[in-house]
Structure 1
Amino acid sequence: MTVTLERPVSATDALALVAPEVADRLVRRITADHPDITRMTARRIVGQAAAFIAASGQQPGQSLAPSKLVDCGWHAFILHTVDYAAFCQRVVGRFVHHVPTGEDESLPGGAQATRERTLAAIAAAGYTIDDELWGATGECSQCHAGCTDSPNSGKK
């Protein structure tokens, strides 16, 4: 399945949506939790997490999922609840929830279709896609949004 949406003429780096002090906090959290990720890569991850959250908020119920790296950024953002809530309100107009589902549920169409759907939604929302950070969607047994930081991730 291929999802094709018309891409906006001028895509925006979603990192611009995140206040610099918030971005710095998130970069510090990502590099502390994932020592193998450099500060430069963590900054890119924050931008792609912002794009993912913004697109998810514009496409409720579409079963979008972050890649493993972008998921690191989303989880870091969620941990900073005040910053996350303010970001969601300002960018989407409402809180973008992380909604867990049952262990036996999977994303519609599988991982590849979910990746295509997610990237199409981000592009349609007008944000630049950093292809290097979208290698694969997370396979999460805990949530419909594909998070990779699940305590159940090793269980089948």
Structure 2
Amino acid sequence: MTTMIESPVALRHGRDLVSPELFETLSAFCADEYGHELSMARRIMGEALAFLWVMGTTGKGDVMAPSTIVDPGWHTFALHSKEYAEWCDQQFGYFLHHAPNSKTRTKDLMLSMADEIRAAGFDVDQRMWAKAADCNSPACRGDGPCC
């Protein structure tokens, strides 16, 4: 009898949705603009790109929202308007507008976003989708009153 070992499924990464050069340009801008270390800006951009891809391919933009920590990644990409517009056209065939809604970023909504991104095959950094106000150690980013 032969036993077959299943190989793990390779998860996608948001950073792979753009060229390495563009990813580094966006990450450096995010770091400079929002005062993050470059390593954190890379994490933000990776999550933001995966989020944007899921939002654009599902057409669920009216019920989706990025976490507070991921939103600057979307802002960063949108500020690089030529690259962002070209990317949107290539990925979705339309321009994905950043149209903030009045939706509150609740814990349930952020968990739902992480689940949607994961379901699309992306590796998700769960800490980027938590709320600091929840004050649980793994999610705390140091920006809440109890963290």
1:135 matches 2:134:
no
Deviation at 1:100, TM superposition (A): 3.6
Q: How far 1:93 moved relative to its partner? A: 3.0
Percent identity (aligned): 33
Q: Deviations along 1:102-121, whole A, 9 cap, x unmatched?
A: xxx435xx612211221121
C-alpha contact 2:111 2:129 (8 A) present in aligned 1: no
TM-score (norm 2): 0.74
Taking structure 1 as the reference length, the TM-score comes to 0.70
Q: Which has the higher contact order (CA 8 A, sep 6+)?
A: 1
Post-superposition shift, 1:45?
1.2
Kept in 2, the 8 Å contact 1:59–1:121? The answer is no
The aligned amino acid for 2:90 is: R
Partner of 1:30: 30
CA distance in 2, matches of 1:67, 1:111: 9
The range that moved more, 113-122 or 71-80, is 113-122
Q: Helix, strand or coil: the match of 1:69?
A: coil
Stretches of structure 1 that go unaligned for 5 or more consecutive residues are 1-8, 138-156
Give the paired residue count.
Answer: 123
Deviations 1:58-104 (A, max 9, x none): 22235111112211111000000111112212223322111244xxx
2:138 aligns with none
State the distance in 1 between where 2:131 and 2:79 align: 23
Which residue number in structure 1 is paired with residue 40 of structure 2? 41
> Aligned partners of 1:120 and 1:93: how far apart in 2?
24
**2:108 pairs with 1:113:** yes
Q: Matches of residues 89-128 of structure 1 in structure 2 within 5 Å?
A: 89-101=89-101, 105-106=102-103, 111-128=106-123
* SS at structure 1 position matched to 2:49: helix
More helix per residue: 1 or 2? 2
